[in-house]
A and B are shown apart, each in its own frame.
Chain A
Amino acid sequence: MPATLTPTKSAKTDTNKSRRIEMILRQVDSLPTLPAVALRLLSLTASDESDAREVIETVSADPALTANILAMCRHSDTGVRSDGLTIEKAVLLLGFNAVRNAVLSLKVMEVFGREERSGTSDEPEGGKRPDDESLVANRSSLVPAPFDRTGFWRHSLAVAVAAEQIAAAHSDQDDLPPAEAFVCGLLHDIGKLAIDFVLPKSYDRVAELVDLNQGNIAEFERRVIGIDHHTAGKRLAQQWDLPQMLQDCIWLHGAPLETLPQLDHRRMIGLVRLADLVARQQHIGYSGNFAMKADPAALAVQLDLDPDRVAQVTEELLGEVESRQRVLGLADVPTHRMFLESIQQANQKLGRLNAALDRRSRASSMQAKVLDAITMFHSDASPGRSVHDALAQIGQSAAEALGRGYWAIVHQPAMDDRWLLAEFDEAGMSPEFRWVDPPLDAPDITTIHALPTGIEGPNGSIAAAGFLPLLGGYLSHTTDISSLRVLPLGCGWGTSALLVHDCDALPPLSALAALTQTWGATLAAVSQHEGARRLSEQLAEANQALADAQDQLLQAEAISKLGELASGAAHEMNNPLAIISGRAQLLLNTLDRNGNAHAAAKVIDEQARRLSELITSLRLWADPPQPGRTPTDVTALLNRIVGGFIDELSQRHAPVSLQVKHDLPTIDLDPIMVTDALHELLRNAVQSQPKSAVHVIGRVNRADRMLVVQVIDDGVGMDAHTLSHAMDPFFSAKPAGRLIGMGLPRARQLIAAHGGQLHLRSLPGEGTIATVSLPLDSPR
């Protein structure tokens, strides 16, 4: 609430206001209309020569009549679809008599008879009007400017024509039919007519104040009457059951395009807003808005409209409006006179604006500050910012725009969510963030109504102020909590956060709302974006995990299949292998020991057994046995392993040496499995054609509690590719090279079964170091 206007806040005032709003809405069953229009229409419809075109034009030119006829059309059983309803269709559909009845039902004369009224109170509830002394102090020095009904009508017509012409200039865009654009433009300010009809004196006062302060009429409507023409118009439109598009145009044409939700007719609302801007730019009629908030060209671009065509329409608007007036028999004023009048009016406004400047300097500097703050705030925006970034920016922006002081923000990302609390220093810097659980009895922050309706208290909305006691426990602010105030930061669907501060002076409501809505909407957008990003990240992670799990499953399945296969193969293949081997052995007994046949029989026997071992390895690979651990003296075991291996070697192999410290401990392990594993490594080392020897080194790594056994050769080594596949069963780097077979994979499996690890380091031409690490303590 602006500091320049602080009505005595009391429950009574609120009650009176809400009662008055109800009263206003009850009384707007019918709308006043212009007698000239009505008379012209009546004469047209009564005349035999009148044609449909003329009737349509006449009705089209009158907002109240148009609204009533559309409402009639809706309420009659004509089966007309509500969307796409135009005056043209309505008049043809209803017929001339119906239109005449509609005009009569408006009781035109009655309505306009009130111009003779004087001194009748329009304060039916007897409530005291808010004290506007500060604003009307200089009233006597200026000519009173009551609500200019003719000007209002001219403005409505100008907006209608502008909307229609801009739409017609973009006939390729079928979501903007010119006839509907005209209706929307004509009725967009119908709320003003409604308020003026119900509370004429109050509305004169509103007009007076607006003129004096060169402000925005809606703001003064809210202050003086408690309801602005947007809301009043929307309620009226709902009551009359006007098409949704019309309702929304009436309600939302004052809102910036960015703040509009994604409605089907979002562009139509934007078009009406644009037409309103154009009409005001041309100073045609009376709109009650003195601030040019937006640039028509920029808005046109936002709406995907051609700025050049809009400029063209703007240029021709005056002439077009004049020709429409002529249809109504109201074009008594020649064009150039009307133009001069417009210029005069604009000059007059400019003069008043200058006169008001001093008085309003404080407010306007505040507004400028707010605008600067919004500009700054947006210039700092980056697409990837987080909720924390946005909160930090809001704190900074708040302190810059509204002054040093205590600043904190309570952000609730979603319904039923926790609170993210950000507390700032005096300058709105160095935020500290905390997630807190809201008190059990705390209402949902997101559901607080944050739009400025004119019924807020000085500390922001009543609902938001109610949060203060709840927040007390979380804030580190040491001073009295009663010095704090709460501003809800609204967004499209509610409130995204509460701004806690101790500022006494805040900018005018409209400017403040712009600021809080900017912060609120930004925070909500960032929060949503972050949530979506987090979700998509989680989704990506889940997908990754799923893919990994699938890979593992496939591998497990493949191994399990291999296991089944190997198990069956072991029986089926070992029988023939036993026969081959057995027959070869029988042959050996009968053949000459020195003959070739003897050697061949020996090879047959050996190869049959080798094949069988391979099958056994496969089976064990697919279904590895659990180690049968027994306490084993590692020194003795290593001696047995190396000793046993050397016994198997023929003379042509390189020597194998063992270096073992004698203080190696006794470990719980499966000696057979460890023997198998080390034999595989030794076999690998010996077959690598070592230049000198193969060394086996056993030691204990006390720090990691590991037994470390290394098998080192200086043989051919492995390149990176071979090394990376060394643990794959049956991998062979060279098609014609030595098959690695199952040896290394099996060794690794046997060691892994003990909770140990097998590492290979190798360089081509320099040799290989295989390192086995076994835990000293068995995993129990």
Chain B
Amino acid sequence: MGRMTKNGKSNGSAKADELRSKQVFTTGEAAEVCRVSQQTIIRCFDAGRLNGFRVPGSRFRRIPRDELLRFMRENDIPTEALEDSRRRILVVDDDPEIVSLLLDVLGNDERFEVRSAQTGYDAGVMTEEFRPDVIILDYMLPDINGNVVCQTIRKNPKLTGIRVLVVSGVVDRDAVQDLLDAGADAFIKKPFDLGELTSQIDQLLTV
């Protein structure tokens, strides 16, 4: 499995990134992703084995991303070109130094793709867009408290499977319990041991 680091992308991978972010594919693009000929794709499309639609008022075939993935898995085609194997982590903290610290710690780890947000609102937008596997959440945010962020994520059925790790300076037992009740998966107190932090993240990802 080819791991890519954020800092060391090759030129050729620009195209791959572009493909990965696409939601709808032409038959040519699908052929490239699946590494088969365009004719094969067209044949499968026409035979109904690869579902899609035609662009209204034309004959051009279009294949949605989900359907393409299903097709690839069904035929044991590696999905590597379409899916990034790195786990996505969203760091939410209003202190830029904390964000910077966590980016340095996690960004050096090739397994992770890390993004950050500084407010509760940004965190919401990023969650929808970035679909993180793990959110590292500060309790005290300038606009919304961490427990509200937790509740919002848990209420959204599309976002199931997201793990929330709260990292905070609060020491109040009750506040921590509130967070866990609101749907946080784990809590780590600031300041933290870096080893403990990464092992906690690993643990959340394997569950």
**Which residues of A are in contact with B by a Cβ distance under 8 Å?**
567, 570-583, 585-586, 608-609, 612, 615-616, 619-620, 623, 625
Contact = CB atoms under 8 A, between A and B. Distances in A.
B105 A582 contact: yes
Interface of A is mostly: helix
Interface in B89-130: 95, 97-98, 101, 104-105
A241 B104 CA distance: 109
A591 to B, nearest CB: 14
Nearest to A582: B101
15 contacts: A571-B168, A571-B170, A572-B169, A574-B189, A574-B191, A575-B95, A578-B98, A579-B98, A579-B101, A580-B191, A582-B105, A582-B192, A582-B194, A586-B105, A612-B190
B194 A585 contact: yes
B47 interface: no
A625 B169 CA distance: 17
B193 interface: yes
B119 to A, nearest CB: 16
A288 B147 CA distance: 106
Interface string B164-178: 000111111100000
A612 B101 CA distance: 18
A620 B174 CA distance: 12
Contacts of B169: 570-575, 577-578
Given A570-B169, A571-B170, A619-B171, A581 B191 contact: yes
A586 B190 CA distance: 15
A574 B173 contact: no
Interface residues of B, number: 20
Contacts of A581: 191-192
B81 interface: no
Interface in B159-207: 167-173, 189-194
B207 to A, nearest CB: 25
B140 interface: yes
B167 to A, nearest CB: 8
Contact of A583 (B101, B171, B172): B101
Contacts of B171: 570, 615-616, 619-620
A667 B205 CA distance: 39
Contact of B191 (A571, A572, A582): A582
B152 to A, nearest CB: 22
A619 B176 CA distance: 15
A563 B182 CA distance: 25
Contacts of A625: 173
Nearest to A579: B97
A580 B192 CA distance: 10
B191 A578 contact: yes
Given A567-B172, A574-B168, 11 more contacts: A571-B169, A575-B169, A575-B190, A576-B97, A578-B169, A578-B190, A578-B191, A579-B95, A579-B98, A582-B101, A586-B194
Given A571-B140, A586-B104, A578 B172 contact: no
A643 B142 CA distance: 43
Contacts of A582: 101, 105, 191-192, 194
Contacts of A579: 95, 97-98, 101, 191
Name, among A570, A582, A585, A608, the residue most crowded by chain B CB atoms within 10 Å (CB to CB). Answer: A582
Contacts of B97: 575-576, 579
A578 B194 CA distance: 10
A612 to B, nearest CB: 6
B165 to A, nearest CB: 14
Contacts of A572: 169
A583 B191 CA distance: 11
B91 to A, nearest CB: 13
Contacts of A576: 97
B55 to A, nearest CB: 52
A577 B173 contact: no
A240 B205 CA distance: 115
Nearest to B174: A625
Nearest to A628: B173
B188 to A, nearest CB: 10
A346 to B, nearest CB: 102
Nearest to B140: A571
A582 B101 CA distance: 7
A577 B192 CA distance: 9
Contacts of B98: 575, 578-579
Name, among B101, B167, B191, B192, the residue most crowded by chain A CB atoms within 10 Å (CB to CB). Answer: B191
